[in-house]
Amino acid sequence: MAIVRGFDSPRFPANDRTMTGRFTRLRDSFSLSYGQKVFLLATVPLVLAVFVISLVVATQSRQLAEREIQTLEEQLIATKRAELQNYLSIARTAVVNTYGRAAPDDEAAKLKVTQELSSMLYGQDGYFFVFDYDGNNLVAPRQTDLIGRNWLGLTDPQGTEITDALIRIARTGGGYHSFIWTKPSTGEQARMIAYVNGFQDWRWVIGTGIFIDDVLENVASSRADVQARITRTSYYIVAIAIVALIGVFLTGMMLNLRERRLADAKLKELTQRIIDTQEEERGRVARELHDGISQMLVGVRYALELTRRKIGAPSSESLDKGIDGLGQTIQEVRRISRDLRPGVLDDLGLGPALQALTDDFETRTGIKTEFETVVFRNRLDQEARIALYRIAQEALTNIERHANATQVHMTLKGHRSGAMLRVSDNGVGIPSPRQERHATHGLGLRNMQERIEQLGGTLRIDSSRTAPSGTIIEAQVPLTHLLSPKKTSKETA
């Protein structure tokens, strides 16, 4: 099966045609149709707007949520700090009488205070601790392994000073310090906030701490929840944008299809008007040739023959040649008139017209031509008759000019789907796209395609040059162009 290609010979060198073809294909591959340009014009601003909106919403939401989370964290930590101050106030109140009455070197009072602080426990991990300014641990009821050991230079896993910082804070009057410490209840390390005061007379650091891992977990959970909400909002925006894009695409497709249908209908109507105008013009020219020029030529020939009879024998040789040439001219004018608009097509129908066409083709070219048909009883409408006749004319013309064939077979028959005209020859065939990549589409074959498309039919061309099997042209006309027998009988009557 070959794509419909023309028979014209190339006009330019192969290299030039190759470069031109490549440039044309490259340009066509990057060119956009009108519908694609409209779609891009509608979608690109929408996509950019959705992207900017998503970015702004996500950024603003994240900043607002971060501020709220920081405020919440500060409030929770402030609550913990206030709680630590209360605990330490309670501890100082419990030992203030003993501390206030004792001398700086009163070991009995110091022992009593350490015993009282060791007994003051709260919660699962809450306790009071005491260091002296030299770094020796004196009280650690939940972590007794620390008691009696010097912890100067102690740091947490992150490198934060613990003992030295607590001592400095106690010397300046008290304050808070945060570091990583081991939870007595679980043995795991967690963030602790400690609040310390100093017993300056005894050179002691007294303090307590509270773990804030629950606060950090709440803050992390809130931050994750905010991030999930931001992500969900972004998904909603993207989903809305996709729905909008689909709506724009479907609307554009509907408009494009509608406009294309209208354009196709107008193009089909215009093509039909052009074909009708061509047939009318051909009919007019055929009548002018037959009724005007042909009659005048016949009159001139009659006058010349009359002159030859008056002159008598022997007549002039040039006069005889002129009369013979004039007769041939009259026959040629009649042939041209018949090709433009054969009267037998209108009077007797398509079958007799094709029979006359093949007979004349065989007589003129010497190519053996066979025509086979069934009795149609003039059941094809006028448009189908004219289209099939013109297709047969064009096929025979191509065979005469390009095929180098010796036999032609033409068939016209009807079937359940409509009517079919089949023209086959044993010539060289039509060039395939791979064999002649730069062959142009012939006007004749394009005219065949346009005529059959106007009828809603199909045109099939089967040809091959690899093996000289010739060319087969099949034109299918749908059943809608066959008239009913009742209507046809009236027209025939």
**Confidence (pLDDT) at 452:** 85
State the CB neighbour count (10 A cutoff) for residue 489: 12
Collapsing DSSP to helix, strand or coil, 106 comes out as coil
8 A C-beta contact, residue 289 and residue 337: yes
Give the pTM: 0.45
Interior/surface letters 202-218, b for 16+ CB within 10 angstroms, e for the rest: bebbbbbbbbbeebeee
- Among candidates 124, 123, 130, 96, which has minimal Cα distance to 208? 130
**Residue extent(s) of CATH 3.30.450.20 domains in the chain:** 54-211
Helix axes 34-101, 107-119, angle to 10 degrees: 140
Collapsing DSSP to helix, strand or coil, 130 comes out as strand
Burial label for 242, CB within 10 Å (0-12, 13-18, 19+), is: exposed
**Confidence (pLDDT) at 481:** 72
**Residue extent(s) of CATH 3.30.565.10 domains in the chain:** 344-492
Residue segments in the chain with a per-residue pLDDT below the cut of 50? 1-15, 17, 433-441, 466-467, 487-493
8 A C-beta contact, residue 183 and residue 196: no
Fold assignment, 344-492: Heat Shock Protein 90 (3.30.565)
**Confidence (pLDDT) at 376:** 58
pLDDT in tens, 92-109: 888 888 888 888 888 899
**Confidence (pLDDT) at 239:** 84
pLDDT in tens, 222-237: 888 888 888 888 788 8
Fold assignment, 54-211: Beta-Lactamase (3.30.450)
Pairing type for strands 175-182 and 471-478 reads unpaired
8 A C-beta contact, residue 339 and residue 356: no
